[in-house]
Amino acid sequence: MHFDTPAGSNPIDRLKVVGQPVNRIDGSLKTTGTATYAYEHRDIGGKPAYGFVLGAAIGKGWISSIDESRARAAPGVLAIVTARNAGKLGVGAFYVDRALAGPAVDHYGQAVAVVVAETFEQARAAASLLDVRYARGQGVFELAAVKDLAVTPRPAAFGPPPQSAIGDFEGAFAAAPVMLDETYTTPGQSHAMMEPHASIAVWRGDHLTVWCPIQQLNWGARDLGLILGISKENIRLLAPYIGGGFGGKGTVLADTVAAALAARAVGRPVKVALTRPLMFNSTTHRPATIQRIRIGAGRDGKITAIGHESWSGNLRGGRTEAATASTRWLYAGANRMTRLRLAVLDLAEGNAMRAPGEAPGMMTLEIAMDEMAEKLGIDPVEFRVLNDTQFAPEEPQRPFSKRQLVECLRIGAERFGWSRRQSKPGMVRDGRWLVGMGTAAAIRGAPIAKSAARVRLDHHGVITVETDMTDLGTGSYTIIAQTAAEMMGVALDQVVVRLGDSRLPESPGSGGQWGAASATSGVYAACVKLRETVAQKLGFVASEIDFADGHVQSGKRRVPLKEAAAQRELVAQDEMTYGDLSKQYAHQTFGAHFVELGVNAFTGEIRLRRMLAVCAAGRILNPKTARSQVIGAMVMGAGAALMEELVVDPRAGCFINHDMAGYEVPVHADIPQQDVIFLDEVDNTMSPMKAKGVGELGLCGVAAAIANAVYNATGARVRDYPITLDKFL
Ligand code: MOS
């Protein structure tokens, strides 16, 4: 099915099941511990051996020798895989890091060896007996230490071109009566998802099966094929459940390659889980940025010039962190400039982390907007409203399909009690606490991609949906079941959903907040086909029938749906593809964040009090799972604002806080109260589902709203994240 004109009314619009806040259909599997995550599968075709990955102990240099003799003699050891015996390895198309070091070491923690033994403990013990000698090279590990940042960037994973220019930015900025020119920094961050990177690999002849938590199984099969030099058709990846990813499990990483190589070496299934320190130092992270923002405005508060430059670093061949992405879409202004610059660093790979580019970009742009509002003497909500635009600022002919930024700001301000905010900072005292409020806009792109699905109807009237879509705890199972139930007119418990198998019809997987809208649209397409098949089977005219309450009806004739499959199961498969609507319309999601917090006047301790997000993101397929996405993102934004920072040790060239004790993320006690409001929105230029995504929108702007609230509470403006108390005392 091809989508190239705005959707008319269709069965989804009934909203009997879609749009309802139903519980996750996989919820009880999660709460009872019976959902099987990658490392937990038992039916794997044999007794597994265990691989332990030894990471490089230097940040840059060479392996001069590895003495394996003591490790080989250790109890239970079956094999030791290193670059010397692994065969030629390629590089993936999305993550570009080399899976095995040797002879060169590209970064600290890069896998040097995989020790395979009968038990995990034996493998770990033997790995400690490997005697690896290094020749240390001169590495550059910190962005701030880079002298020449002007490397031409490799385009970002997602997002904007390296630069853009509209009108005369420099001239308009110089002429502006009110101007801001500030530099902000954001630190490296780690996805720190709950489930570690872990894989079980098994070979049958030249066919490889891997259980692994990968968000995009099609990328995973492609990249594992490229790395191992085998056809992706010979690879089957299985990921029925994934314990969080946030972009850190986009495709194949060291655990999967290590398991595949080790399983080939020992001729039986091999399980490999990365330790937390290896996850921090050898998988991917969100790169640190330095961002310069310049805004010029007239005394009326209208922006006349806006410029955003961002510098980030990555290993050679790695991508740019596209922190200028949102600045190209968010506010009006005739003279504009964005520029990305990339430095080569000898760290692990920087790559996509939830709202890549947009999240760190909004962390800074939305502080700059707060600063500018203060310079102008305009309320921060009003300043944003004043600079709203219904057309893409860099493409004045291209309207936003839907843009309810102003509505988000206004409704949020009203619900949050924004009118009680004192515009002068440091004015509100509650005992020992200085209390402040802050706001920020939210914006995040709304991509959608081709997605396929297969649906079956059996003689019990049960609908089975199959696609290689993944569920990271996001609710994919549930919204896919809701879609099929709505389309086929059956109750939700009549739908079975199978996901996370690369042999199933191809979806774009979970990422870029495209998963929900894309995967359900593929299911929609397959269901349209199944409805036609059912109609034909039962002798109805397809265009005239209604599917409801487990029946098919046309005029007075009403037949149980299951009768269509009385003799044999009916199967339909289709994919949803897209025309040019996303070129005609700018597809973005919008929101507004509001935060109230207290800062201890004596210690500088920051305590959140209330958070509110208002989101406008197309049709909300399930308000409960969507809310969970947004509140989770708000928690992540609180971490970004107040805690999270990958600290580089410039001597070793590693992230020194490489576990959950040293890398702080918020806990429940840090998040006392959250609210989410979804505005009514139906975007018929997206797909027949008329939905967008919310998983990344919820993160964009949160940290700035917190930073702005800290300023409002204290009068201390911090431009260097995270906002720890040492930075404003
Ligand atoms: Mo996302 S950072 O595309 O999982």
CATH of residue 626: 3.30.365.10
Residue 157: predicted pLDDT = 67
Average pLDDT over residues 17-44: 97
Residue 256 lies in a domain: no
Query: Does pLDDT of 453 surpass 90?
Result: yes
**What is the rounded CA–CA span in Å between residue 487 and residue 462?**
13
CA torsion 297→303→305→307, rounded to 10°? 110
Cβ atoms 641, 702 nearer than 8 A: yes
CA distances from residue 508 to 42, 251, 359, 497, 537 in whole angstroms, order as listed: 28, 12, 22, 17, 32
Residue 541: predicted pLDDT = 86
Residue 459 lies in a domain: yes
Residue 337 lies in a domain: no
CA of 253 to the centre of ligand 1 (A): 15
Residues with Cβ within 8 Å of residue 363, at least 6 apart in sequence = 184, 186, 640, 641, 703, 704, 707, 721
226 alpha carbon, distance to own chain's centre: 24
| Residue where a domain terminates, one of 580, 615, 635 | 580
Name residue 169's amino acid.
Answer: F
Residue 521 lies in a domain: yes
CA atoms within a 13 Å half-sphere pointing along the CA-CB vector of 161: 5
Query: Which residues are known catalytic residues?
Result: 696
Total-model pTM: 0.97
Query: Does pLDDT of 447 surpass 90?
Result: yes
**What is the rounded CA–CA span in Å between residue 415 and residue 613?**
10
pLDDT in tens, 397-427: 999 999 999 999 999 999 999 999 999 999 9
Residue 354 CA, closest ligand 1 atom number: 2
CA of 125 to the centre of ligand 1 (A): 35
Residue 722 lies in a domain: yes
Together in a domain, 402 and 454 = no
Rg of the chain's alpha carbons, rounded to an integer?
26
Together in a domain, 605 and 531 = no
CA of 509 to the centre of ligand 1 (A): 10
Query: Does pLDDT of 150 surpass 70?
Result: no
> Facing residues of 164 across strands?
338
Together in a domain, 606 and 520 = no
Q: Give the domain range for residue 489.
A: 2-35+448-580
Residue 363 lies in a domain: no
pLDDT in tens, 649-668: 999 999 999 999 999 999 99
CA of 469 to the centre of ligand 1 (A): 14
Residue 255: predicted pLDDT = 97
User: Pocket of ligand 1, candidates 251, 283, 354, 507: which has the most ligand atoms within 8 Å of its Cβ, to mutate?
Assistant: 354
| Residue where a domain terminates, one of 549, 580, 611 | 580
Write the DSSP assignment of 582-641 as a string of letters: HHHSB-EEEEEEEEEEEEETTT--EEEEEEEEEEE-BB-S-HHHHHHHHHHHHHHHHHHH
User: Pocket of ligand 1, candidates 219, 696, 699: which has the most ligand atoms within 8 Å of its Cβ, to mutate?
Assistant: 696
Structural domains in the chain (count): 2
ipTM of this complex: 0.96
Judging by beta carbons within 10 Å of its beta carbon (0-12, 13-18, 19+), is residue 204 exposed, middle or buried? Answer: exposed
Residue 143 lies in a domain: no
In the chain, the N- to C-terminal Cα span, in Å, equals 60
Residue 511 CA, closest ligand 1 atom number: 3
State both tokens at 504: 């199933």
Cβ atoms 434, 713 nearer than 8 A: yes
The C-alpha angle with vertex 319 and arms to 519 and 471, in degrees rounded to 5, equals 25
Which residues have CB under 6 Å of ligand 1?
A: 215, 245-247, 352-354, 356, 511-512
Interaxial angle between packed helices 358-376 and 623-642, expressed in degrees from 0 to 180 and rounded to the nearest 10 = 70
| Residue where a domain terminates, one of 550, 565, 580 | 580
Region label for 291, one of left (φ > 0), alpha (ψ between -120 and 50) or beta (otherwise) = beta
Residue 197: predicted pLDDT = 98
Residue 215 CA, closest ligand 1 atom number: 4
Residue 145: predicted pLDDT = 83
**In 3D, which of 196, 286, 273, 289 has the Cα closest to residue 247?**
286
Average pLDDT, the chain: 96
Residue 595 lies in a domain: yes
Together in a domain, 551 and 456 = yes
Together in a domain, 427 and 495 = no
Together in a domain, 598 and 697 = yes
Query: Does pLDDT of 680 surpass 80?
Result: yes
pLDDT in tens, 86-144: 999 999 999 999 999 999 999 999 999 999 999 999 999 999 999 999 999 999 999 98
Q: Whose CA is nearest to atom 4 of ligand 1?
A: 247
CA of 195 to the centre of ligand 1 (A): 16
Query: Does pLDDT of 325 surpass 80?
Result: yes
Residue 158 CA, closest ligand 1 atom number: 3
Residues with Cβ within 8 Å of residue 563, at least 6 apart in sequence = 538
Query: Does pLDDT of 155 surpass 80?
Result: no
Together in a domain, 620 and 694 = yes
Together in a domain, 453 and 414 = no
Phi and psi angles of residue 526, each rounded to the nearest 5 degrees, phi first: -65, -35
**What is the rounded CA–CA span in Å between residue 323 and residue 248?**
18
Together in a domain, 612 and 700 = yes
The conformation of residue 426, written as its DSSP 8-state character, comes to T
CA torsion 329→332→334→338, rounded to 10°? -30
